[in-house]
Amino acid sequence: MIILCFITGLATVGFGLVLPAFLFYAQNLGATPAIATVIIATYSMGQFIGTPIWGRLSDRIGRKPVLLISIFGQSICFVWLALSSNLWMLAIARLFGGMISGNISTAMAYVADSTDEKKRAKWLGYIGASVSIGFMIGPALGGLLGGQDASSASIFYPALVAACISFTTGVATLFFLKESLSQENRNTETKSSPSLLKNWGLVFKRPILMEIFFFSSCNDVCYRDI
């Protein structure tokens, strides 16, 4: 589990690296502040599309394969981002980066598989703490690599470093992280799991899930607005 915290923290460092210079770089390519904000938001749009799919897929093929696909896919998207020379390339790279980013939700599922009820909350908290540490280190490092001022801002070096970190994280996952979901549980969950649309239907039919969904969304809106 400590290895999982380390992997999650490294993945978050890579994500945070490109944030400080991204808005200024997009504006240097000709984007207005509104368009630059929309490009940044495409990552969240990709997450909205991809995260439920990765969650369902991890129930079928296991947590480790999905983590590997997500982390190595992120490294490719970071290289794509580093080489982006126009706004369309930036937007598409961000969108695909969001769609492939199933690592945090899969890490949470890994914790649920690997812990009992007494220790689950503790390790979920550790995962959350590793994400927070990554968000502290990533933007700070990205600010140093992203240029001296707004006019010279570039995401080339931050994105390349993020790609290297993601690749290193993928290698660590490949060699040091064991699968948490047994073959028996995969088969059981695959046969009994409803479709993606039915899963969303279950959310909207249960008041407690609706409340969690609503307040989590409000919290995320406030966080991103800052």
Q: Are residues 83 and 58 part of one domain?
A: yes
**Do both 175 and 154 map to the same domain?**
yes
Whether 188 maps to a domain, the answer reads no
Residue 175, token pair as written in the block: 């060699």
User: For position 148, what pLDDT does the model report?
Assistant: 86
Predicted pLDDT at 165:
93
Q: Is there a domain that residue 17 lies in?
A: yes
Is there a contact between 46 and 91 (Cβ–Cβ < 8 Å)? no
Q: Identify the pLDDT of residue 31.
A: 92
Structure-token pair, residue 27: 């504006």
- Total domain count for the chain? 2
Q: 176 and 226 share a domain?
A: no
Note whether residue 186 is domain-resident: no
134 and 223 share a domain? no
pTM: 0.84
Residues 35 and 70 in one domain: yes
Quick one: 140 and 35 in the same domain?
yes
Q: Alpha-carbon distance 211 to 71, whole Å?
A: 31
pLDDT tens per residue across all 226 residues of the chain: 788 888 888 888 988 999 999 999 999 999 998 999 899 899 989 988 898 889 889 888 999 999 999 999 999 999 999 999 999 999 999 999 999 988 888 999 899 888 888 888 999 999 999 999 998 999 999 999 998 888 889 999 999 999 999 999 999 999 999 888 877 777 554 455 555 566 666 666 777 767 766 666 676 655 555 5
Residue 1 near residue 126 (C-beta atoms within 8 A): yes
- What was the pLDDT predicted at 217? 65
| Structural domain span for residue 134 | 2-181
Residues 148 and 216 in one domain: no
9 and 67 share one domain: yes
